[in-house]
Amino acid sequence: MIEIKKIKEVIASRSIRREDNENKIKIVIGKRNPILNSPDYYCLYQIVGIADEKIRYAAGIDAVQVLQLAMVMTGADLYKLKGETAGHPRWEGG
């Protein structure tokens, strides 16, 4: 398995903070890409500033579905982290 160290083309990002205001957390979603020898797509996403900061990916049958799934998976990861860390994530600015 290849470890990806950086998302090269970021198409969306959002900053959030923990409830205790100590950690700034950034969500980064990369450009969707076709899967080699497949009609499907994947896109990379990362949550920076909390937990392992590992780059993960979502895969889907078209360019829209893969972006929807990346957002759903990011939400699921944040929900999981909420139980593992002190302070619930909150959108920046309210």
Tens-place pLDDT, residues 83-94 = 666 566 666 565
3 located within any domain: no
- The domain in which residue 55 lies consists of 10-85
End-to-end CA distance of the chain: 39
What would the mean pLDDT of 17-38 be, rounded to a whole number? 85
Tokens of 66: 């893969």
Asked if the model's pLDDT at residue 21 lies above 70, the reply is no
**Across-strand partners of 25?**
16
Give the global pTM. 0.82
35 located within any domain: yes
94 located within any domain: no
Quick one: pLDDT at residue 20? 65
44 located within any domain: yes
22 located within any domain: yes
What would the mean pLDDT of 29-33 be, rounded to a whole number? 94
Q: Indicate the average pLDDT of the chain.
A: 84
